[in-house]
A and B are shown apart, each in its own frame.
Chain A
Amino acid sequence: MQPVIELDDLTVHFGEREILKSLRIALSGRIIGLLGPNGAGKSTLIHTLLGFCPASSGTAKILGHDIRAEADKVRTLVGYMPENDALIADMTAVSFVRMMGELSGLTEEAALERAHEVLFYVGLGEARYRQLGTYSLGMRQLAKLAQAIVHGPRLLILDEPTNGLDPAARTRMIKLIHDMKDSGEMHLLLCSHLLRDVEETCEDVLILKQGRIVHYANLESERRTNKRFVEIQTHGDDAGFAEALTAIGCECSAAGNGRFKAVLPEEFELREIYRVAAGRDLQLRRLNYRRDTLEDIFMKAMEV
C-alpha cells in the first residue's frame, strides 16, 4: 500500500532555530491524528507539506509526489482547512467555495455545482447565499471545510477542526469526518489538541515533541498490545489479596468493594493471579485488561 505521507529526513529551520528535526516516517492510515504539545512542530509540518515553509534538508512525499518537485500536483491532491479564521467576509458562501474550486482547477460549471453540493453536504445549504461575515463561528468552520473539499482532494488536512465549536457543532464535525472517511478515497490528517477528537476519529496517531517524532502507532493495535494493566473484581474476603499479588511481583492497589488494579511484570502468567485467589478461597468475578486511552498513550509518549 502506497504511503499517504512519507517524510524522508525532513528538517525545517526558522532562522537559527530547528523546528522539525530529521523526521523520517511513512504514514499510511486512512485517518491520521497529529498530536503534540504546543511548539512541537505540528503546524510547521503541515505548512511544510503544503509548501508554505521550505524544508532545510530532506524531503517529503504526499501520495507518492514530492512536495518540492511536484508542488502543484501535491496541492491539487490536498485540501486544507486551516486552524485560524480564513475566509473572505464580503463574499457569499457559494461564491467563495466556487472561487476556491476554480482556483483548484475546476471548470466554472463544475465549481458552481460542487460548491452547492459541498455546502449542502456540510450543512450550510440553506445559508449558502449569505455573506460569510455574517456566519457564526461554527458555520465558518463548516465553510472552511467546504472550501477544503470542493475540489475532491485525496488528502484532507484538518487543523483543529473543532476549535471553538459548541458540543452540537463538534458532534456534527466529527460525524462529517467519519462520513468522509467512509465515502470515496479520501485520506485525512487531523491535527488537534483535543485528544477526544483524535480518539473518536483517527486510526493512526503521530505524536511530535520538540520537533521529533516520539510515537507513531495504530491506535487499536496499541491498545490491544498493552496487556500489562488489569482490573480485577473479587467476591469474598479479600484481606491481604493486594499484598499477595505484590509478593508475586505485581504492583497492586485496592480500589474498594473487592476491586483491585494491578500492573503486571514482564513475562507474567495470568494463571498466577487465579492461583493466589484460589489459595485464599476468593472468587474472581472479573479480570479485564484495561485498554489504554489516547491520553495514556500521549502521556507515555511525552515521557520519552
Chain B
Amino acid sequence: MAVHKHTYKDYTGPRTPAWSRFLVLARFGFARVYHLKFLFLFSIGCLFYPLVCAAYIYLSHNPSFLALFSIPADRLPHVDGRFFYFYSIVQGALAYLLTAFVEPVLVTPDFANGAMPLYFSRPFSRAEYVAGRISVLLILLSLITWIPGLVLFAIQSSIEGWDWMTGNLWLASAIVSGLFVWIVVLSLIGLALSAWVRWKIGAGALVLGVIFAGAGFGAAINSLMRTNYGALIDLTQVAHTIWSYLFRYDTGTEMSLTSAWIVLVVTCVICLWLLAKRIRPFEVIK
C-alpha cells in the first residue's frame, strides 16, 4: 500500500537561501556525470600522469633507487619550469578531452527536450544556471590539472626543503594561474557549444572539432600566407605560449604573450555571447 496520501498539499516548510540554488544544479550534474562509468573511469585515468610525475619526483630523490639502477642523479631532468610546462601540456590535453565528454552530458539534455522554461520559471537566473553547470566542469578539471600540479609542487618542496620552495613559489602560482585560465576557457567553450547542439555526440564532436579545426586552419593559413598569424586561431598554441611565459621555459614561439591573452579573452567573450543568445527560457523563432 502506498504510504503517501493521494491529495494535494501546500508546502509551508523552510526554503533554502537563493545564493545556494546553483549548487543544486552542480550536485545533480555530478550525479549525472558519475552515473556514466566511462566518464568516471576516464576521470580516474586522467590522474595517471600526475602519479607518474609524483613517482618520478620521489624516485629521482631516492639515492638507493638511483644506485640500484646506476642512474646518475645529475643527468635526470630537474623539477623546474620545463617539467611543469610539459605537465601542463599533458594534463591540459586531457582536460580538453574530458570537457568534450562531460559538458554535452550536462547541458545538451536540457536543450534537447526544452527544459529551460522549467529552470527559469523558478527563482533561478541565467547566471546561476551557467554557474551551476560550469562549476561541475571547473571542479572536475581542477581535480586533474592544477590541484595535482600543486601536489607535485608540494612533494618536491617537501623533499628539497624550504629554500627550494620559497625560491620557486612562482612555479606554484604559474601552475594555478596557467591551468586555471585554460580550464575556464575550456569550460566556456564546452558550455557554449553544447548549448547549441541538441545531440550529445554531436556536441562532443563539435567541442573536439573546434580546437582541432582551429589548429588545422591555423597551420593552413601559416603555410599558405607565409605568416604566423594562423597560430592565433589555434587555441593549443595560444595556451602553450602562455604556459611557456608563465613557466619561464623558452619554446621559441613567435606569438607574443599579449596576443595570446587577447585571443583567450576574445574566445571567452564569444562564448559568453553564444551563451547569452542561447540560454533563454524560450526560443524566439523569427
**Would you give the shortest CB distance from B172 to chain A, in whole angstroms?**
37
| Whole-angstrom CA separation of A73 from B18 in the bound complex | 11
Chain A 173-213 residues near chain B, CB threshold 8 A: 179-180, 183-186
Interface flag for B164 (CB, 8 Å): no
Chain B 33-73 residues near chain A, CB threshold 8 A: none
Q: Do residues A88 and B4 form an inter-chain contact, with CB atoms below 8 A? A: no
Interface flag for A121 (CB, 8 Å): yes
| Whole-angstrom CA separation of A28 from B14 in the bound complex | 28
Number of interface residues of A (CB under 8 A): 52
Scoring A residues 75 to 118 as 1 if CB is less than 8 Å from chain B, else 0, what string do you get? 11011101011111111000100011011111100100010111
Q: Do residues B4 and A125 form an inter-chain contact, with CB atoms below 8 A? A: yes
Scoring B residues 189 to 232 as 1 if CB is less than 8 Å from chain A, else 0, what string do you get? 00000000000000000000000000000000000000000000
Q: Do residues A72 and B10 form an inter-chain contact, with CB atoms below 8 A? A: no
Interface flag for B117 (CB, 8 Å): yes
**Would you give the shortest CB distance from A19 to chain B, in whole angstroms?**
12
Q: Do residues B7 and A72 form an inter-chain contact, with CB atoms below 8 A? A: no
Q: Do residues A103 and B119 form an inter-chain contact, with CB atoms below 8 A? A: yes
Interface flag for A47 (CB, 8 Å): yes
Chain B 85-132 residues near chain A, CB threshold 8 A: 109-110, 112-124
Q: Do residues B21 and A82 form an inter-chain contact, with CB atoms below 8 A? A: no
Assess A110 versus B21: contact at CB under 8 Å? Given A99-B28, A125-B4, A180-B8. no
| Whole-angstrom CA separation of A116 from B2 in the bound complex | 10
Contact partner, A88, options B6, B11, B109, B124, Cβ 8 Å: B109
Instruction: Indicate the member of A75, A78, A95 with the most B CB atoms within 10 Å.
Output: A75
Q: Do residues B28 and A95 form an inter-chain contact, with CB atoms below 8 A? A: yes
Scoring A residues 12 to 39 as 1 if CB is less than 8 Å from chain B, else 0, what string do you get? 0010000000000000000000000000
Contact partner, A86, options B14, B117, B280, Cβ 8 Å: B117
**Would you give the shortest CB distance from A148 to chain B, in whole angstroms?**
8
| Whole-angstrom CA separation of A78 from B123 in the bound complex | 10
Q: Do residues A103 and B11 form an inter-chain contact, with CB atoms below 8 A? A: no
| Whole-angstrom CA separation of A50 from B9 in the bound complex | 23
Assess A84 versus B114: contact at CB under 8 Å? Given A75-B123, A105-B21. yes
Measured between beta carbons, the chain B residues less than 8 angstroms from A120 are 2, 4, 6
| Whole-angstrom CA separation of A121 from B115 in the bound complex | 22
Measured between beta carbons, the chain B residues less than 8 angstroms from A110 are 11, 13-14
Q: Do residues B2 and A125 form an inter-chain contact, with CB atoms below 8 A? A: yes
Measured between beta carbons, the chain B residues less than 8 angstroms from A52 are 117, 120-121, 280-282
| Whole-angstrom CA separation of A120 from B6 in the bound complex | 6
Measured between beta carbons, the chain B residues less than 8 angstroms from A150 are 11
Assess A179 versus B8: contact at CB under 8 Å? Given A88-B115, A105-B18, A105-B21. yes
Measured between beta carbons, the chain A residues less than 8 angstroms from B9 are 117, 152, 183-184
Q: Do residues A88 and B14 form an inter-chain contact, with CB atoms below 8 A? A: no
Measured between beta carbons, the chain B residues less than 8 angstroms from A184 are 8-10
Q: Do residues B10 and A152 form an inter-chain contact, with CB atoms below 8 A? A: yes
Seen from chain B, the residues whose Cβ lies within 8 Å of a Cβ on chain A are 2, 4-16, 18, 21, 24-25, 28, 31-32, 109-110, 112-124, 280-282, 284
Q: Which 5 residue pairs spanning A and B have beta carbons closest together? A: A152-B11, A105-B15, A80-B121, A72-B123, A52-B281
